[in-house]
Amino acid sequence: GAVVSQHPSWVICKSGTSVKIECRSLDFQATTMFWYRQFPKQSLMLMATSNEGSKATYEQGVEKDKFLINHASLTLSTLTVTSAHPEDSSFYICSAAKGGLVTEAFFGQGTRLTVV
């Protein structure tokens, strides 16, 4: 399989600050990356689809101004949680697609965000 690296693995931040999470495909170029959010003991919910060189596509109910996504290169997408609140605390996971099809997507190890 392919390797997707997510950084940081965990982060604690104060309310009102912004946090950036990086998702890198290490051994392949990913034209498409996906960002998910997972609450404890729940399933993964797709937040947005990130396409290299273009604007991200957000799922219904996801605030694009709060969750800023940048996919500046074929190996890196970033998710910035702006003006974080405690309710933003969650496990954020990215996946990267080799050929643009979700069926060939591989997941990062996730980022545990805690907002205090």
Place of tokens 């999470």: 21
- The smaller minimum CB distance to another protein, of residues 15 and 37, is found at 37
Least distance (Å) between residue 99 CB and another protein: 10
Query: Which residues lie near another protein (CB under 8 A)?
Result: 1, 4, 6, 9, 32, 34, 42-46, 49, 57, 91, 93-95, 97, 100-103, 105-110, 112
Least distance (Å) between residue 107 CB and another protein: 4
Least distance (Å) between residue 3 CB and another protein: 11
Identify each DSSP E strand in the chain by its residue range.
4-7, 10-13, 19-25, 32-38, 44-51, 57-58, 67-73, 76-81, 90-97, 105-107, 111-115
